[in-house]
Structure 1
Amino acid sequence: MLKLSGLGKRYPTGDRALTNIELTLPKGQVMALIGPSGAGKSTLIRCVNRLVEPTEGSVTLEGVELTRLSGQKLRQARRSMGMIFQEYALVDRLTVMENVLSGQLGYVGFWRSFLRRYPQSAVVEAFRLLERVGLPHALDKRADALSGGQRQRVGIARALLQSPKLLLVDEPTASLDPKTSRQIMRLIRELCAERELAAIINIHDVALAQQFADRIVGLRAGEIVFDGPPGELTSDILTTIYGEEDWDTTPEPEDNSVDERDDPTPPTPMARVAAGGAR
């Protein structure tokens, strides 16, 4: 479905963010990108939808080479890629419903969006999505009146209103507490399964990546140093990705740790280890 071939990014300063990235993402697969800060995770996601222009290689989505597109054709291609941002990217003065409907901007254009002239079918779908993400009671609330978890749910609904084929998710849990983080990751995972969506999730929390992703890709200094299933993420591989650390020491539990009754699936032993040292 998605193929990255020889993808690279060098900034005008000469700094290299990505080097020779080779990845293929099939339909329906949830991939987690992990790695230290500055490893190139956010840059990789933004190169896929061309928010950052790659300097080498190609990005192909369902047979269409995105790196060759421009203007109207690029805008049309971006409709098939839903973006979920770390800082939510909501308009605070607008209501929850208005923020979700802004996901139709790529279809209705700026002026129709500005005048709130959305197709009835889009409005019906927005209602349905807000129900699905657990916010039917909040549709008339302003975005700035929501909690972090609620704001992220609005961002998820907005991305899905585009009817995307691919989700690009940039640190969806970075500003959330542990319980809400798991709820958001579980929701993304469930929605991808329901809609057969592929997803690339840039995430710092290795434990969450192991629990909710089908596949983990580890980046270090802009290069792929691991690509495999969560169960193969050993202490040695974590050292390769992040550097030396005592990965075999179990961290002390935090006061705000998650009540396991909220999630019947316990993390793997390596997930519990990684949770304390991989941020």
Structure 2
Amino acid sequence: MLRLEKLVKTYKTGDQALKAVDLEVPSGQVLALIGPSGAGKSTLIRCINRLVEPSSGKVWLAETELTGLGQGALRRERRRMGMIFQEYALVERLTVMENVLSGRLGYVGFWRSLARRFPQKDVDEAFRLLDRVGLLHMADKRADELSGGQRQRVGICRALIQDPKLLLVDEPTASLDPKTSRQIMRLICELCEERGLAAIINIHDVALAQRFVQRVIGLRFGEIVYDGPPDGLSPDKLTEIYGEEDWEATIKKDDEAPVEAAE
């Protein structure tokens, strides 16, 4: 589904954020990117949709090489990649519904988008998505009236209304409390399963990643140092990824009680 070949990103300062990264993500798989700050996690996600231009290497989405596309073709391919941001990236003065429908801007003409005139099928889908994430009753509220968890749910709806094949998720729980973080991670994973979506989630919380995803990629200094199942993250592996520390309290225990259902 997604394939990275020898992906390199070197900034003008000479700092190399990614060092010849090879990675394949099949359809329907949800994986977590973990690693210390500066490991290259956000850079990797942004190189996939070319919000950051790779220095070399290739990115393939299905049979399309994204790194070889001009701007027009890239805009069309970005429809297939939904992005969920850490700081939500909502337009504060717009309503919840208007923010969700902004995910369809790549599909409607300039004048219709300027007038916010979307096809009825798009409006209907926005209502269905808001209902699915528990925000149907807030469709007409302004974004600046929402809590952090509610804003992130709006961001999820905005990404999904694109009808993507891949979700790129950048630290979706960084600004949320522990309970809301679990609910958001559960919601993302449930929606990916329902829709057969692949997803790459950049996340700092190791235990949260272990609890919800199918596969973990550990980055350190721009290189993959771990690629495997969540239960393979032993203290030794976490030391290899992050450095020396007492990791016993960080790792999810097999006998931990199930977490509460999403609200």
TM-score category, normalised to shorter length:
over 0.9
| Paired letter, 1:62 | A
Within-5 A mapping of 1:32-51:
32-51=32-51
Task: Tell me the distance in 1 between the aligned counterparts of 2:162 and 2:27.
Answer: 17
SS of 1:262's partner is coil
Task: Tell me the distance in 2 between the aligned counterparts of 1:166 and 1:114.
Answer: 27
SS of 1:18's partner is strand
Task: Tell me the distance in 2 between the aligned counterparts of 1:230 and 1:102.
Answer: 35
Equivalent position of 1:147 in the other structure: 147
Equivalent position of 1:126 in the other structure: 126
| Paired letter, 2:213 | A
* CA-CA distance at 1:210 after TM superposition: 0.4
SS of 2:105's partner is helix
Task: Tell me the distance in 1 between the aligned counterparts of 2:258 and 2:111.
Answer: 47
Equivalent position of 1:228 in the other structure: 228
Equivalent position of 2:254 in the other structure: none
* CA-CA distance at 1:260 after TM superposition: 5.5
Task: Tell me the distance in 2 between the aligned counterparts of 1:223 and 1:2.
Answer: 18
SS of 1:111's partner is helix
Unaligned segments of structure 2, at least 5 residues? 252-256
Runs of 4 or more consecutive aligned structure 1 residues displaced over 3 Å after TM superposition: none
Task: Tell me the distance in 2 between the aligned counterparts of 1:3 and 1:238.
Answer: 25
| Paired letter, 2:154 | V
Equivalent position of 1:208 in the other structure: 208
Residue by residue, what CA displacement relative to the aligned partner does 1:129-151 show, whole Å, maximum 9, x if unpaired? 00001101100000000000000
* CA-CA distance at 1:248 after TM superposition: 2.5
Residue by residue, what CA displacement relative to the aligned partner does 1:125-183 show, whole Å, maximum 9, x if unpaired? 00000000110110000000000000000000000000000000000000000000000
Equivalent position of 1:64 in the other structure: 64
| Paired letter, 2:77 | A
SS of 2:57's partner is strand
Residue by residue, what CA displacement relative to the aligned partner does 1:48-79 show, whole Å, maximum 9, x if unpaired? 00000000100000110000001211100000
Task: Tell me the distance in 1 between the aligned counterparts of 2:7 and 2:155.
Answer: 28
Equivalent position of 2:260 in the other structure: 262
Task: Tell me the distance in 2 between the aligned counterparts of 1:81 and 1:261.
Answer: 29
Residue by residue, what CA displacement relative to the aligned partner does 1:244-268 show, whole Å, maximum 9, x if unpaired? 00113579xxxxxxx966159xxxx
| Paired letter, 1:187 | L
Report the TM-score, using the length of structure 1 for normalisation: 0.90
Task: Tell me the distance in 2 between the aligned counterparts of 1:119 and 1:167.
Answer: 24
Identical amino acids, percent of aligned pairs: 72
Task: Tell me the distance in 2 between the aligned counterparts of 1:121 and 1:98.
Answer: 14
- Alignment of 1:90 with 2:90, yes or no, is yes
The 1:63/1:85 distance shift into structure 2, 3 A limit, reads: same
Equivalent position of 1:219 in the other structure: 219
Residue by residue, what CA displacement relative to the aligned partner does 1:180-202 show, whole Å, maximum 9, x if unpaired? 00000000000000000000000
SS of 2:246's partner is coil
* CA-CA distance at 1:82 after TM superposition: 0.1
Task: Tell me the distance in 2 between the aligned counterparts of 1:19 and 1:39.
Answer: 11
The 1:147/1:5 distance shift into structure 2, 3 A limit, reads: same
On the 8 A contact 2:88/2:152 being kept in 1, the answer is yes
| Paired letter, 1:228 | G
Equivalent position of 1:137 in the other structure: 137
Q: CA RMSD in A?
A: 1.6
Which piece of structure 1 moves more, 212-221 or 110-119?
110-119
Equivalent position of 1:156 in the other structure: 156
Task: Tell me the distance in 2 between the aligned counterparts of 1:218 and 1:67.
Answer: 24
The 1:248/1:136 distance shift into structure 2, 3 A limit, reads: same
SS of 1:107's partner is coil
On the 8 A contact 2:207/2:250 being kept in 1, the answer is no
Task: Tell me the distance in 2 between the aligned counterparts of 1:15 and 1:260.
Answer: 42
Task: Tell me the distance in 1 between the aligned counterparts of 2:249 and 2:98.
Answer: 47
* CA-CA distance at 1:111 after TM superposition: 3.2
Task: Tell me the distance in 1 between the aligned counterparts of 2:76 and 2:225.
Answer: 33
The 1:243/1:250 distance shift into structure 2, 3 A limit, reads: closer
* CA-CA distance at 1:23 after TM superposition: 0.3
SS of 1:108's partner is coil
Unaligned segments of structure 1, at least 5 residues? 252-258, 265-279
Equivalent position of 1:166 in the other structure: 166
Within-5 A mapping of 1:241-256:
241-249=241-249
Equivalent position of 1:77 in the other structure: 77
Report the TM-score, using the length of structure 2 for normalisation: 0.95
